[in-house]
Amino acid sequence: MKRTAVILLGPSREAVSGVSTHLNLLLGSALPRQFDLMHFQVGSEGRREGLLRKAARLLASPFLLAASIVRHGAAVVHVNTSLDSGAYWRDLAYVALSKLCGARVVYQVHGGALPAEFFAGSRLLSAWLRATLAWPDVVVVLASMEAQAYRAYVPRQNVALVPNGIDRAAFLGRRAARSGPLGLLYIGRLIATKGLYESLEALAAGRALGVQARLVIAGGGPEEARLRARVRELQLDEHVSFAGPAFGERKARLLAEADVLLLPSYHAEGLPYALLEGMAAGLVPIVTRIGAIPDVVPDELHGQFVPPGDAGAIVAAIRALERDRERLMRMSTACRARVASAFTVERVAADFAALYAALCAARTPEAAT
């Protein structure tokens, strides 16, 4: 039996981004057994191009997508986007041409601004946003607070909550109670809004209070040189190390060697894969109430919440976990159970299989009679 064709829009599968991780998980899941999934690359991530070539690609790409829809008879186009100015304006053309070609459109939002905030200074642009958010057949969000915000903003739109999930297999190694310095780990882009400078301030303050902890920073990004300089200024060279970008077995090893995941972000997060992977490996997260994070960490059993930008609160959270290792182990076990119960790639694949099937049935009503 011929499988229904679904085109997944997103960056290069080799790019370092949460959306690339999402695409790879979907394409490696059970979903391709039910649907013929095809990747259509959009965006600049993973490309090396000059200004003229980029302009030519932006002009041609929507029409190439339309040709692909027609050639493969695609029933569904799954647009992976975010509500920021670059992605929003770029992806409008993909949504419009997909609809003109007769495909159903899944518009999945991976973070960014909430809709009421996006064009808050302009009534005209806010009305335009409401109109264009009605174009897709379904808007998919990652967080319950995002679902509430979109349903309030476009009440007639079908808004589906489909949180991220991961393949836990690489993170299931046994953990034993450890003594010595508390192992802290950050994994992700090295940008200021991830709370990295506050984390360094907290580590320095903790040293003055007798807290024994070591921090590994894994990732790359524009703030790396400044972060290294700040480590030297705070005299933390013996307590902070930079591991560079980490993938596959190396990332799994870094997670296995740590106790706590530091993610005190005030970035416009969706649902960070680093959080799910860390908790699946048994790390206890120190996090902020941003994006979908409160959905994953519902209470103090699964992590420690701190206000954004509050180094003092980060110190207190680290100190509490460093002093009570039995509680740390209980929380570690709870973190693993939390991911296993609700944030697996199997659940994500099943959610999208049901969503695609419903859209295809709506596209061909005679098939449902």
- What letter does residue 291 receive in the DSSP assignment? T
More confident residue, 364 or 92: 92
CA 109, distance to chain mean position in Å, is 10
CA proximity to 5, closest of 90, 102, 142, 92:
102
- On whether the CB atoms of residues 164 and 132 are closer than 8 A, the answer is no
Residues 6+ apart with CB under 8 A from 194: 186, 188, 263, 264, 265, 267
CB burial string 35-64: b at 16+ within 10 A, e below: bebebbbbbeeeeeeeeeeeeebeeebbee
Average pLDDT, the chain: 93
| DSSP three-state, residue 81 | strand
pLDDT in tens, 304-355: 999 999 999 999 999 999 999 999 999 999 999 999 999 999 999 999 999 9
Rounded to whole angstroms, what are the CA distances from 289 to 73, 112, 190? Answer: 42, 15, 20
Residue 8's identity, in one-letter code, is: L
How far is it, in rounded angstroms, from Cα 47 to Cα 43? 8
- On whether the CB atoms of residues 306 and 284 are closer than 8 A, the answer is no
Task: Measure the N-to-C terminal CA separation of the chain; round to a whole number of Å.
Answer: 20
Give the CA count within 13 Å in the CB-facing half-sphere of 93. 16
How far is it, in rounded angstroms, from Cα 109 to Cα 19? 10
Residue 319's identity, in one-letter code, is: R
pLDDT in tens, 246-271: 988 999 999 999 999 999 999 877 89
* Greatest C-alpha distance within the chain: 72
Q: What is the pLDDT of residue 219?
A: 93
Q: What is the pLDDT of residue 108?
A: 98
Q: What is the pLDDT of residue 368?
A: 41
| DSSP three-state, residue 58 | helix
Neighbours of 92 (CB within 10 A): 16
How far is it, in rounded angstroms, from Cα 290 to Cα 287? 8
CA proximity to 303, closest of 277, 325, 281, 275:
275
How far is it, in rounded angstroms, from Cα 274 to Cα 21? 11
Neighbours of 183 (CB within 10 A): 18
Confidence of residue 369 (pLDDT cuts 50, 70, 90): very low
Residue 211's identity, in one-letter code, is: V
CA proximity to 61, closest of 40, 89, 82:
40
Residue 36 in this model has a pLDDT that exceeds 50 = yes
Domains of the chain, earliest start first = 4-165+344-368 (3.40.50.2000), 168-342 (3.40.50.2000)
| Mean pLDDT confidence for 350-361 | 96
- On whether the CB atoms of residues 184 and 318 are closer than 8 A, the answer is yes
pLDDT in tens, 102-135: 999 999 999 899 999 999 989 999 999 999 999 9
